[in-house]
Amino acid sequence: MNLDVNTLFLVTIYVEVILGLLLLFAWVQNTAVTAVAWWGFAHLLLAASVVLFGLYGSVPDLITIDLANALLFTAFALTWTGARLFDHQKPLPIFIFGGAALWLVVCRLPGVAGSFDVRVLLSSGIITTYTWATAYEFWRGRGEPLVSRWPAIFMLFAHGCLYLLRTPFGAMLPWSPTGNEVFESVWLTVLSFEALLFTIAIAFILLAMAKERTEHRHKTASLVDPLTGIANRRAFMQDGEALLRRQVSDPCAIAVMLLDLDHFKSINDRFGHAVGDRVLQVFSQAGSRCMRRMDLFGRLGGEEFAALLYDANRDKALAAAEEIRTTFAESTHDVDGKPIDATVSIGVVVSHDAISDLSALLAQADHALYRAKESGRNRVEIASIDLVLDRIKRPDAAAETDADETAKSAA
């Protein structure tokens, strides 16, 4: 089988149909990613345009040239629209059909209808515009950590550049309005082969992007607290242990905080659980604002939170804890129109030694948190050996404190 344009057209038709059906099948498995459906229909539309191109010479040019190109441009427009939807942008219907409409109108002009070079330049410009627009959509969504996004950007940009070369290549092609000599050019064979390889590669890359996003969201959902948007217990413990292992090779002070909202049950009882949830969100926002990029902040459960500050000595840790406490108190003077005036108690422990057990540090911070609760709440206490020994001597102290808080809430 010779690698000529006619053969490539036939192969391209089969490939485009298979890729289109594959993408639609993938979309049926996960209809939440609507962009995949748009990409699937784009490949089917590409197959239809190639079928019409292949009929050149046997049916009127209005079908094999004008209509075929209109379908081709719309297919590239669907790919671009899918990219917009993938990154949560709205589709723009006027631009979806804008390229096809421009082609059909301009090609009716006397100076264009009879000029092959001008028509090639126009079609190349339309396809390049859609291709680069698709690359741009993926580029501006680069904040999302998807590795497969980058080869998609590169391939789309490179393919757009190559399409611009169709104009000088088109000038070399023999052209006969009544013959098929145009299909005998080696340049058109090369371009057609490149287009076939591109359409296969980009289809699988786009499918990989959709799959990577789904996997990333599932992973994120398992590590992020759905109410507050910060790390949950599992994520905090995993990342915290990793930071402690890093301390072994890069010794520095590590501060761990245990933070517990005061009288939170009373807030739920007085204002309702919806307001209680808003208070948790306000606290999460306040705590996150007080953290550095290298620090960890997470919700362990209920109204209990934890923080790990890397390379933070006693003074830095206490300053950060006080900032969280005061910021939260100020933020809850008015929550959804209600004077909540919530407060938080914080226990802090600072370690200069290489400790790989985060649970041990949290336990020491818990001793300091108990002292903060016992001393009147809405305060910061730092763990010391005296606090630990005092807690060991009074094992029922925490239970007594919780009982007192429950009784005050009921009153």
The DSSP code for 143 is T
User: For residues 398 and 374, what is the distance between their CA atoms, to the nearest angstrom?
Assistant: 9
Q: Of 76, 198, 179, 178, which is closest to residue 137 (Cα–Cα)?
A: 76
Output the pLDDT for position 409.
39
Confidence of residue 400 (pLDDT cuts 50, 70, 90): very low
| Paired tokens of 194 | 């490149």
In the chain, the N- to C-terminal Cα span, in Å, equals: 90
| Paired tokens of 140 | 């501006």
pLDDT above 90 (res 75): yes
CA distances 85 to 118, 282, 336, 385, 406, Å, are 33, 31, 33, 57, 50
Across the beta sheet with 254-261, what order do the strands follow? 296-301, 304-310, 254-261, 344-351, 380-382
Q: Of 220, 214, 244, 242, which is closest to residue 232 (Cα–Cα)?
A: 220
Per the prediction, the chain carries an average pLDDT of 85
- Burial tier of 313 (Cβ tally within 10 Å: 0-12, 13-18, 19+): middle
pLDDT above 80 (res 248): no
Which is higher by pLDDT, 55 or 154? Answer: 154
Per residue in 271-308, pLDDT (tens digit) is 999 999 999 999 999 999 999 988 999 999 999 999 99
Q: Of 312, 290, 387, which is closest to residue 347 (Cα–Cα)?
A: 387
User: For residues 348 and 312, what is the distance between their CA atoms, to the nearest angstrom?
Assistant: 11
What does 179-221 look like in DSSP terms, one character per residue? S-GGGG-HHHHHHHHHHHHHHHHHHHHHHHHHHHHHHHHHHHH
pLDDT above 90 (res 184): no
Q: Using DSSP, state whether 229 is helix, strand or coil.
A: coil
CA angle 31, 37, 41 (to 5 degrees): 160
Confidence of residue 5 (pLDDT cuts 50, 70, 90): low
Per residue in 210-224, pLDDT (tens digit) is 999 988 888 777 889
Per residue in 320-354, pLDDT (tens digit) is 999 999 999 999 999 988 999 999 999 999 988 76
Look at the alpha carbons of 93, 94, 95, 96 in this order and tell me if their dihedral is positive or negative. Answer: positive
Strongest mean pLDDT among 121-125, 143-147, 185-189, 375-379: 375-379
Strongest mean pLDDT among 82-86, 290-294, 398-402: 82-86
pLDDT above 70 (res 169): no
pLDDT above 60 (res 106): yes
| Paired tokens of 408 | 């005050």
Output the pLDDT for position 10.
87
The DSSP code for 59 is B
Output the pLDDT for position 235.
92
Q: Using DSSP, state whether 41 is helix, strand or coil.
A: helix
Which is higher by pLDDT, 140 or 180? Answer: 140
User: For residues 165 and 197, what is the distance between their CA atoms, to the nearest angstrom?
Assistant: 17
The DSSP code for 246 is H
Residues counted in the chain: 411
| Paired tokens of 308 | 């790990």
Tell me the backbone φ, ψ of residue 89, rounded to 5 degrees. -105, 155
Q: List all residues 6 or more positions away from 137 whose beta carbon is below 8 Å from its beta carbon.
A: 80, 83, 84, 86, 87, 89
Output the pLDDT for position 116.
77
Q: Which of 156-160, 185-189, 237-241, 390-394 has the lowest mean pLDDT?
A: 390-394
CA distances 19 to 3, 12, 68, 197, Å, are 21, 10, 19, 12
pLDDT above 80 (res 203): yes
Q: Using DSSP, state whether 272 is helix, strand or coil.
A: coil
Task: Evaluate if pTM is beyond 0.75.
Answer: no
Q: Of 154, 149, 166, which is closest to residue 208 (Cα–Cα)?
A: 149
Confidence of residue 170 (pLDDT cuts 50, 70, 90): low
Per residue in 223-244, pLDDT (tens digit) is 899 899 999 999 999 999 988 8
Determine contact, residues 14/8, Cβ cutoff 8 Å: no
pLDDT above 50 (res 60): yes
Ordered by where they begin, the domains of the chain are 5-223 (1.20.1070), 233-410 (3.30.70.270)
The DSSP code for 114 is T
Confidence of residue 179 (pLDDT cuts 50, 70, 90): very low
pLDDT above 80 (res 190): no
Confidence of residue 58 (pLDDT cuts 50, 70, 90): confident
Q: What mean pLDDT do residues 47-72 have?
A: 89
| Paired tokens of 293 | 């990029």
Confidence of residue 143 (pLDDT cuts 50, 70, 90): confident
